[in-house]
Amino acid sequence: MSRPQTTLALMMTEAGGLQHAVSFTQETIALDGENFSDCEFRKCRLIYSGGEPPVFDGCKFDHCDWRFEGPAGRTLEHLKVVWGAGAKPTVQALIKDITGAGGR
C-alpha cells in the first residue's frame, strides 16, 4: 500500500499509531510513540522529538533522513559537549551499550 506525499503525524495519532505493511515514499513522519510493522520507508524524513520511542518491527529503510528535534536534539547536543569536554569514554560506552558491542 502506498500513500501520497503528506505529513503523517496527525493522521497516525488519530489512527492509534499502528502502521502495518505500509510503504512510505518521500514523506515527513513524526516517530514519537508510533508503532510500525513490516513497513518500508523510502526517501522519507523521519523525525524523533524525544517522546515515547517508536517501535520498528521488520521495517526497511532506504535513503531516509533521520532528524532529532526538541529534547532528542538537545540530548545529542549534550553528548557532543560531553565528548568535547574530555569525557569521550563515557560517550563511547553509551554507543557500545546502544549497539550491543559492550559484551552483553
Position 40: which residue type?
E
Same domain as 93, residue 79: yes
Average pLDDT over residues 68-96: 97
pLDDT at residue 44 greater than cutoff 80: yes
Full residue range of the structural domain in which residue 77 is found: 69-99
> Is residue 6 located within the same domain as residue 44?
yes
> Under a CB-based contact definition with an 8 Å cutoff, are residues 43 and 23 in contact?
no
Global pTM reads 0.78
pLDDT of amino acid 101: 85
How many domains would you assign to the chain? 2
Residue 64 lies in a domain: yes
SS3 state of residue 67: strand
Grid cell in block for residue 77: 547536543
Let me know if residue 104 belongs to a domain. no
**Residues 81, 36: one domain?**
no
pLDDT at residue 56 greater than cutoff 70: yes
Residues 11 and 57 in one domain: yes
Whether residues 41 and 78 fall in one domain: no
